[in-house]
Amino acid sequence: MYPLKFKPIYFEKIWGSRRLTALRDDLPQGDIGESWDVACHKHGMSVVQNGKYEDLTIEELIKLKGDELLGQKVPLNKFPLLVKLISTDQKLSVQVHPDDKYAYEVEGESGKTEAWYIVEASENSSIIVGFDNCTKDMLKEAIQKGEFETLANEIKVKAGEVYFIKSGLVHAIGEGLIIAEIQQNSDITYRVHDYNRGRELHIDKALDVINMDITGEKSKGLRVEMCGYSKTYYCLNEHFALDVYEVDSSCKLCSDIKRFNVITCVEGEGKIKYGQETMNICKGDSILIPASLGKYEVLGKVRFINSYIPDVKSVRKEIMSIIE
């Protein structure tokens, strides 16, 4: 197999923008809010853009290649990740996502934990993550009075920052942003507040799943210097891991036969070399690295997210060995 690039799936949104024109030359008309770049969901199915398997859906490719694509430890019955770019000229709704237990019981699919990498941010761009000194009773009263925003924890953001959005954490993306989002393969959103835009709210379900104990803050990460590049560990949980690589010229890697990974370029441009072949990678591209690929190299001055389904114990052991 070889590194796979997929045709973007674009979604026009009320809060969308034209910001992705700086990264893409195929952007359709309208205010594009989301580009699903690696997706295997009923609301969006990725189609291979390059190489031998061009025009196959990711679902068809999983049936065809199985473990060679996803790896020996990744179930073949449901692709676990959804990788997207979010582009905003207005605020998104304030929202919350359920955990797996609630989502399967009520919605029939997995819950949604996600992570954000801030690709681009305007000078005053901000996000909402959780609340300031708030109880659920205070929250209910504020929602009834239309005073929700007085309780929200709003913080300014800048490019290069990472935020972990665990299921149960109330959150919102502000205007003037491009964000790379790595998430569970789910499309469940409960809106709490929508700035009087007339869209449906989901107050009862949201109150069921909001966890007031979760705090939202910038992820600090653990940076490790390697030969020719650095690696920063940011997110590690049962649903996915997210690391960020900064490459000066070359970064030699090897796929894990047990699990695929996805490279999302967030700065610069370069090439992925595998065997005697190379492919270009540019800011905004997401490339799926099949589990069976073997050795490959990222060349150029480039920064990328590496996301994958981890063996949590193994990665924790790796991190502890660095700390110690």
67 confidence band (pLDDT: 50, 70, 90): very high
Nearest to 308 by CA among 115, 25, 26, 112: 115
90, with CB counted inside 10 A (0-12, 13-18, 19+), is: middle
DSSP 3-state of 3:
coil
Domain with CATH 2.60.120.10 in the chain: 4-209, 222-323
CATH superfamily, with its number, for domain 222-323: Jelly Rolls (2.60.120.10)
Give the pLDDT confidence score for residue 37 in this predicted structure. Answer: 98
Digit-coded pLDDT (tens) for 78-89: 999 999 999 999
Give the pLDDT confidence score for residue 233 in this predicted structure. Answer: 97
Q: For residue 191, indicate whether it is catalytic.
A: yes
Stretch 51-72: mean pLDDT: 98
Catalytic residue among 24, 191, 259, 303: 191
Give the pLDDT confidence score for residue 309 in this predicted structure. Answer: 97
Digit-coded pLDDT (tens) for 165-191: 999 999 999 999 999 999 999 999 999
Q: Tell me, which fold does domain 4-209 have in CATH?
A: Jelly Rolls (2.60.120)
The pLDDT of residue 324 is above 80: no
Alpha helices in the chain (DSSP H): 58-65, 67-70, 100-106, 136-145, 203-209, 312-323
Digit-coded pLDDT (tens) for 89-125: 999 999 999 999 999 999 999 999 999 999 999 999 9
d(CA 91, CA 176): 9
Digit-coded pLDDT (tens) for 126-162: 999 998 888 888 888 888 887 777 888 999 999 999 9
The pLDDT of residue 291 is above 80: yes
Give the pLDDT confidence score for residue 124 in this predicted structure. Answer: 93
Give the pLDDT confidence score for residue 47 in this predicted structure. Answer: 98
Stretch 49-77: mean pLDDT: 97
Give the pLDDT confidence score for residue 215 in this predicted structure. Answer: 83
Contact 6, 48 (CB under 8 A): yes
Which residues lie across from 176 on neighbouring strands? none
- Exposure b/e, 147-177, CB count within 10 A at least 16 = b: ebeebbbebebeeebbbbbbbbbbbbbbebb
